[in-house]
Amino acid sequence: MLAVPKEPPQKFISVMLSSLRKAFFSIGIASAAINMLALTGSFFMLQVYDRVIPGRSLPTLAGLAIIAATLFMFQGALELLRSMLLARVGISLDERLNRKVFGSLIYLPTRLQSSDDGLQSVRDLEQVRSFLAGGGSTALFDLPWMPFYLILCFLFHFWIGLTALCGAIVLIALTALAETLSQKPAEQAAKSSAARLGFAQAARRNWEAVVAMGFSGRLTEKWTAMNEAYLGNQLSAGNIVSTLTTIAKILRMMLQSGVLAVGAILVIKQEATGGIIIASSIMVTRALAPVELAIGHWKGFVAARQSWSRLAKLLDLIPAEHRAVALPPPQKELGVENISLTSPGSRDFILRNISFKISAGTVLGVIGPSASGKSSLARAITGLWPVVIGAIRLDQAALSQWERSDLGRHVGYLPQDVGLFDGSIAENISRFAKDMQPGPIIAAAKAAGVYDMIVKLPDGFDTVIGEGGSRLSAGQRQRIALARALYGDPFLVVLDEPNSNLDAEGEASLTTALMGIRARGGIAIVVAHRPSALAAADKVAIIVNGQLQAFGPKDEILGASMRHSVAGPVRLMIAGEDVSG
């Protein structure tokens, strides 16, 4: 089941952030208390130098030490509590978004073409959560207290405050510089990281061809080049932040010494006390520490901000699918009304002005030369690719009127790339239903003619097939995927090259399955190159160059193909096997 937001994306973001408002408010209160308690060291030193030492009073020193120790413990407890709250906010954010992020992995290919591995949204959510749980987020909560400390420095003395203010301006300028200089390298690093991981996944997925044909060395060279580009961007961003962090650290130490020097001058002129020198030095350090910490974590902050921006855009791309009225199950017909189609993210039309209608109890064969748009038509009919012009209707209702999870119960689909999942055969056939019932699973297996094959396996339906069904042969994977498409007796079953890996027994089972769909009043659409897949078809559509060249009864269309120019492409399509008679 595809997880999509029930609210419009922007509203969902607003609602989610509003629900976390109390947590952020609590963190803000804790930060206020922490920053007030951070004055303990300054005032302790002020009292020691201005009261204890001149008065030589050990009881006063002991009392001040006890008070200071108590306040320091409270400060430590609050800082621990704040860190735990920030970590919990990150986890809460993950809990609220992870279903939608995972849903995007499945849904976005229907809207966008991507060159990466498709897992960027998962990494983005992890980046945001990690930043919230790290030290960079605490610096952001402490930064607003910098003016408070500067005001106290001015209360000690004007020149001490001015010195601290100048230091603060310089560090803030460094922070702005970190933002400006690190943003582009960070973006490039994120893009190159996604590209190289996508390439690595493709290499792993196609390892058999790579090893068999001996071009692993060339792929390794390409990977090395991509990795070097990624490391270069990472190094560039890291160098910028490291350089600015070092400069900020040196400037802070220089400023601390500068405050001591200014304080010494004021003491010599008898405009300040020795305690003010030490207290103001500690206070300036505390005032500027969040800036230095923020610069040190700026790379993570930029990455988290970019990740959050991508996540927000991601939710914008996922439409709200909540329907107040659920449509009844389709029972009558499928209508394709003058549709034109592009692939996700492209403007070039793959299909143009396709129209036909088929009623319940029909098996339609779709044939045509390679790259003519047959698989694209299958994706449009199942609702995977939204049509640009026209509409596809089940019982007069456009596919867009259906909630995806509801429509999925009435659709069976077998793509060219079978796409099984790591799990048991029963889980794959049942589409990972929460309440797997043996009856529908066995019925689907028998309808696909794969029941005997499954029960002969050592663990039967409980056999774990591995990632992508790696423990099965190509033919077994295709037949189990056919059973998955037939699970629950869906009204519309779309099969794209369902016999590409089948032997004679498998093709006979496919024909029986198609006849079963027709007998129970369903609709089956078979995209095929091999004529054996059309044995059960009673209607045929011929697609050439993205246009419907012919549509009608199988015998009539294939017989006419020998007398029309479309016959050539059809024969080429089936690699020498003539389907015309």
pLDDT reported for residue 116? 53
Domain 10-317, CATH number (from 3.40.50.300, 3.40.50.10800, 1.20.1560.10, 3.40.50.1950): 1.20.1560.10
Of 13 and 467, the structure prediction assigns the larger pLDDT to 467
What's the average model confidence in pLDDT over 472-495?
A: 89
Q: Return the sign of the alpha-carbon dihedral for residues 420, 424, 426, 431.
A: negative
pLDDT reported for residue 107? 66
Please write the tens of the pLDDT for every residue from 33-64: 988 888 888 888 888 887 888 888 888 889 88
Sorted by where each begins, the domain ranges of the chain are 10-317, 333-565
Torsion of CA 321, 327, 328, 333, to 10 degrees: -90
Asked whether 341 and 376 are in contact (CB, 8 A), the reply is yes
pLDDT reported for residue 317? 65
Range of lowest pLDDT (139-143, 195-199, 337-341, 448-452):
195-199
pLDDT band at 102 (very low <50, low <70, confident <90, very high): confident
Average pLDDT of the chain to the nearest whole number: 79
pLDDT reported for residue 474? 83
Q: Residue 51, class by beta-carbon neighbours within 10 Å (0-12 exposed, 13-18 middle, 19+ buried)? A: middle
pLDDT reported for residue 565? 42
Range of lowest pLDDT (306-310, 376-380, 414-418, 434-438):
306-310
Alpha-carbon gap, residue 356 to 237, rounded angstroms? 56
pLDDT reported for residue 181? 77
Residues in the chain: 581
Please write the tens of the pLDDT for every residue from 70-99: 998 998 899 888 888 888 888 887 777 777
pLDDT reported for residue 221? 83
Domain 333-565, CATH number (from 3.90.1150.10, 3.30.70.260, 3.50.50.60, 3.40.50.300): 3.40.50.300
Please write the tens of the pLDDT for every residue from 128-160: 888 887 777 887 788 888 888 888 888 888 888
Neighbours of 379 (CB within 10 A): 20
